[in-house]
Structure 1
Amino acid sequence: MRKIIWSPKAQKDYAGIIDFVLQRWTLKEVQQFVDQVENAISILQIGNIEFRKTKYRKLHVAVISEQISVYYRIHSSKMVEIVRFWDNRQRPSKLLKS
């Protein structure tokens, strides 16, 4: 099973999304988002599926919901780094600049 680490930006993105959802919707929607993230991370931990590669070096993307994707980097067969959570309505070219 792979170890999952979170970048500081990913931690900030995740907390920001939860805060945003809490301001606009209910705990039910927050829990749904958390469950979707946990599901994607479980898949990454097992390591038998890789999501779509991006044009950025060693960066992959998994769609969490219609609005949010998670970008991650495979460091080795034993470690994956969650790099960013990203609002799909933003331009991907801004991903590594922000």
Structure 2
Amino acid sequence: MAKRNVIWTRTADIQFVGILEYWVNKNKSNTYSKKLIKLVSERTKQIAEQPLIFKATDFKDTRVASLENFSIFYKFNDKEIIITAFWDNRQNPKKLLKILENKK
């Protein structure tokens, strides 16, 4: 099977960048953010290679891959992995519900 391209939605990208900025400001260092970028890169590579190994959700065609305190929500087809949300699991889950419901 050909390798799938990983595409981040605008929402997921904004969430990820916001989390990275939060940790840079909180820690007064970019060390943790760099570590997180590396972990996310490795996890999205895993998703692209084997999208079915991660848990299905109650949302149509959406799966979730956990990563430390974060969750990566995605959809896929033969050519693409579409990251629909990047979520810090310590946030209010009602916010996530609204985001995922809008990605139908």
User: Does TM, scored on the shorter chain, surpass 0.5?
Assistant: yes
Compared CA separation, residues 24 and 8, structure 1 to 2 (3 A): same
Which residue does 1:18 correspond to in 2? 20
Q: Percent identity?
A: 27
The structure with the greater share of residues assigned to helix is 2
Structure 2 residue matching 1:85: 3-state secondary structure: strand
The count of residues paired between Structure 1 and Structure 2 equals 96
Give the alignment's Cα RMSD to 1 decimal.
1.6
Structure 2 residues not aligned, in runs of 5+: 100-104
- The one-letter code sitting in structure 1 at the alignment partner of 2:48 is Q
State the distance in 2 between where 1:20 and 1:91 align.
Answer: 16
Summarize deviations over 1:12-62 as a string: whole Å, max 9, x none: 001101100101122221111111100111112223653111111111111
State the distance in 2 between where 1:16 and 1:24 align.
Answer: 12
Runs of 4 or more above 4 Å deviation: none
